[in-house]
Structure 1
């Protein structure tokens, strides 16, 4: 019987609390896909990252939910590189990771903050308020007040970016079965809902993320979706390039996600998403 050590890390913490938990397995070279999935199920988090050596990049990282492998996971990437920094495996600097979403760079700053590159945005389908309203329990006329598109965007994983009017984010009533069928039909991971914050707030937007198709009814911090949202806001709302998002408030687990979009005119060139993370525990898992 083989014993595997899983580090438990909260990613996108706010002043040392909150965040989104991820499992991290270092030295995962000899684990099979089936073993990785079994470990992820036993950990029980939305994602667990598995770190292996790579022939040309610094690391190869794979990501598993409790139901299967996904191409990329932002909060698990943050958890992984923050953990290796805290364990003194890595120093501040730039590193590369091979993922199923491509080869992406990760920057570790001297204060331990991690900023990770995401893929350039893919602008996918647009949907109507009639399509979306039944999914989140809000009247279609209310949704239409925001005058922004309901569009699927991917910077590694495809999510529907859903703007809602101020004051409505916390009262959404997601229909998880309907969201699951909608995402399966349209090849989406989930729905990333947001409301814009006022000029006096430190945050550009407050967010909620629903991905029941992958066993995640709601997530307290979603890195991949935050990159997509930053690109969406740069394209449709304003031309700023630095964003701070809040997520997890409805779950009493407030998280903070930073995003930076570098663009030349209307052409987005680079996207980075990041934040801080904290090691909170260790779990030993026995493999049959």
Structure 2
């Protein structure tokens, strides 16, 4: 019996090129979680989004890597919403997505260079105290304390990750992690991974690399949720929560993610955007 159709999407492209190849599957009720995990392993991309379109006003989306299911996935959300717009045949769509028990707003619109998608990330938790526990991760990244530009910060939009500010772009791009050691440290501390970044002098743009070997992804081409977490951290510490981040250069697949964080009565929330390029049906 043939498996479900797969669409591979280049999510979070930069100037129409690059992006993170992400598999999107229109889910089938007969699939088991073992089936979904097997499809994610076979797909050949770092992440696979399974989209249930059974409810008209809300799309239920789940995410798997080769290691298992994720709580959420930012660039996977961008990929899934682009596929839904493509399937509709329209030029613009505003909807809602259900992932990990949370319903949030999404929007997708066709542009000359692809499909632009934005989604509401929700409240970002920003606990303190990461500097006291991050020494092992800094060492696993092959960095020294002198390479760190400011305090480390844990940030979570559902899964905690460590934000690691690196002193400059060249040092960031030179990082060669010990992935085995990094995975062990992240599992010990309960982190999804670590998001190393270097900001421009203006603080409105930057470059970043996301390492998550603990969930089977040594390095992400694009990690949209971490950009939203960074925007929340910057709003909390500098008062400015708008950021554009370039990723993927070290992997020869340039990507770009934008995020804007704001204060609300519930806490700091972020909205994340990226452009999807080619959609290839497999």
Shift of 1:241: 3.2
| Structure 1 match to 2:138 | 133
Does 2:215 match 1:214? yes
Shift of 1:14: 0.8
Say if 1:261 and 1:222 are closer, same or farther in 2 by CA, change over 3 A. same
* Structure 2 residues not aligned, in runs of 5+: none
Answer whether contact 1:157 1:225 (CA < 8 A) is retained.
no
Please give the alpha-carbon distance, in whole angstroms, between the structure 2 residues aligned to 1:88 and 1:53.
12
1:23-56 superposed Cα distances (whole Å, 9 cap, x missing partner): 0011433311111111001002111000113558
Does 2:101 match 1:104? no
| Structure 1 match to 2:227 | 226
| Structure 1 match to 2:39 | 39
Answer whether contact 2:93 2:109 (CA < 8 A) is retained.
yes
Count of matched residue pairs: 276
Structure 2 matches for 1:192-207, cutoff 5 A? Answer: 192-199=195-202, 204-207=205-208
Two-structure CA RMSD over aligned residues (Å): 2.1
Q: Name the SS of the counterpart of 1:109 in structure 2.
A: strand
| Structure 2 match to 1:286 | none
TM-score, normalization by structure 2: 0.90
TM-score, normalization by structure 1: 0.89
Does 2:29 match 1:29? yes
Say if 1:54 and 1:185 are closer, same or farther in 2 by CA, change over 3 A. farther
| Structure 1 match to 2:154 | 152
Answer whether contact 1:84 1:90 (CA < 8 A) is retained.
no
Please give the alpha-carbon distance, in whole angstroms, between the structure 2 residues aligned to 1:32 and 1:183.
29
1:49-97 superposed Cα distances (whole Å, 9 cap, x missing partner): 0011355851110000011000100111101111222233565242111
| Structure 1 match to 2:52 | 52
Shift of 1:264: 5.5
Answer whether contact 2:13 2:275 (CA < 8 A) is retained.
yes
* Structure 1 residues not aligned, in runs of 5+: 284-288
Structure 2 matches for 1:133-282, cutoff 5 A? Answer: 133-143=138-148, 146=149, 148-166=150-168, 167-199=170-202, 204-236=205-237, 238-263=238-263, 268-282=267-281
